[in-house]
Amino acid sequence: MKLPRAAKEHRSFVSARGIQPFGEWHRFANEELLSEAVSERLAGEVRKKQDSLICLATGASPKRTYELLAAKARKQPSLFEKTRWMKLDEWGGLAMDDPASCEYFLRQTLLNSLAVPPERYFGWISQPANTEEECDRVAEWLKANGPIDIQVLGLGENGHLGFNEPAQELQSGPHVAELSAVSMGHSMLANKQGKVAFGLTLGMNDILSARQIILLVSGERKSKQLLRLATGEESPQFPA
């Protein structure tokens, strides 16, 4: 893959895999233009396959994209009426309604605006009584309802995807993740009311099995990891 010229310029990027074997790079002057392009891409895919299963990451990178999707739905209420949504990961230990939880983020930025019914949304339980059973529940649901049509991702500051942290060996399926210091310092947790004990996340095989993957990268803090990604580094120490 050719290194994008502006990877050294701290611009906003989106990498999309699925249409071309090795993916596409798209460079944008700012985050708003990136978000507009990604929201239109997602809406276009839904128009082609109305019951698409879209798996959603959380955090600053996709936030504006989700807000724009919500705006599209207000203008065209029928656009997402058959779309299925799935939550990529969750902060284990927080209450589902904690302002720092992934559940709260998705409901505030997208799901509530779309009035998504329970039968078209699936996500992790943030305080499961048994974490192993929760991982099995997610794996079984994905087996019955997958594969994911479109996986939306952000790039972690240490190269993590979801809560697939740099490690000696990456996990293939849904699992409990020991969170890195980078993840524990995530801006989402600034206003947390509970205590984060672990991460819950889909595994790398779940993610890579998606028919399309859209990876959003924005901001100077991500520039080092963007360069690693663009040079094609393959290592469990760099999940992206």
DSSP string spanning 124-193?
Answer: --SS-S-HHHHHHHHHHHHHHH---SEEEEE--TTS-BTTB-S-SS--SSSEEEPPPHHHHT-GGGGG-S
pLDDT computed for residue 233 by the predictor = 66
Q: For the sheet containing 175-177, what is the strand order?
A: 89-92, 198-201, 175-177
Domain membership flag for residue 239: no
d(CA 1, CA 231): 7
Q: Which residue has the higher pLDDT, 181 or 17?
A: 181
- Is residue 89 annotated as a catalytic residue, yes or no? yes
Structure tokens at 7: 């990877």
Averaged pLDDT, 124-140: 98
Q: Are 88 and 215 in contact (CB under 8 A)?
A: no
Of 89, 90, 98, 103, the active-site residue reads 89
Q: What share of the chain is helix, strand, coil (3-state, %, to 5)?
A: 40, 20, 40
Q: What mean pLDDT is predicted for residues 94-108?
A: 97
| pLDDT score, position 238 | 67
Average pLDDT over residues 92-119: 97
Q: Quick check: 220 pLDDT over 80?
A: no
**Nearest residue to 127 via CA among 157, 160, 90:** 90
At residue 234's C-alpha, the angle toward residues 233 and 239, to 5°, is 100
pTM, 2 dp = 0.87
For residue 218, tell me if it sits in a domain: yes
Catalytic residue among 134, 165, 186, 206: 165
What value does the mean pLDDT of the chain take? 86
Check if 164 is active-site: no
Is the residue at 67 inside a domain?
Answer: yes
Question: What's the CATH number where 44 sits?
Answer: 3.40.50.1360
For this structure, is 30 an active site residue? no
Rounded Cα gap, residues 150 and 85, in angstroms:
10
More confident: 22 or 40: 40
CB atoms within 10 A of CB 222: 22
Q: In this structure, is residue 238 part of a structural domain?
A: no
By DSSP bridging, strand 84-87 and strand 175-177 are: unpaired
Mean pLDDT within 204-233: 81
Q: Hey, how many other C-beta atoms are within 10 angstroms of the C-beta on 191? A: 9
Is it the case that residue 19 has pLDDT exceeding 60?
Answer: no
d(CA 59, CA 96): 16
- CB hemisphere CA count around 233 (13 angstroms): 15
Number of domains present in the structure of the chain:
1
Annotated active-site residue 165? The verdict is: yes
Task: Read off the pLDDT of each residue in 124-134 and give the average, rounded to a whole number.
Answer: 98
Rounded to whole angstroms, the Cα distance separating 90 from 194 reads 13
Distance CA 223, CA 25 (A): 15
- Is residue 240 included in any domain, yes or no? no
Q: Is residue 237 domain-resident?
A: no
Which residue in 98, 103, 149, 160 is the catalytic one?
160
Which residue range is the domain that position 181 belongs to? 5-230
Mean pLDDT is highest, among 146-155, 217-226, 228-237, for 146-155
Q: Which of 16, 206, 14 is nearest to 122 (CA)?
A: 206
Assigned domain for 48 exists: yes
Rg (CA), the chain: 17
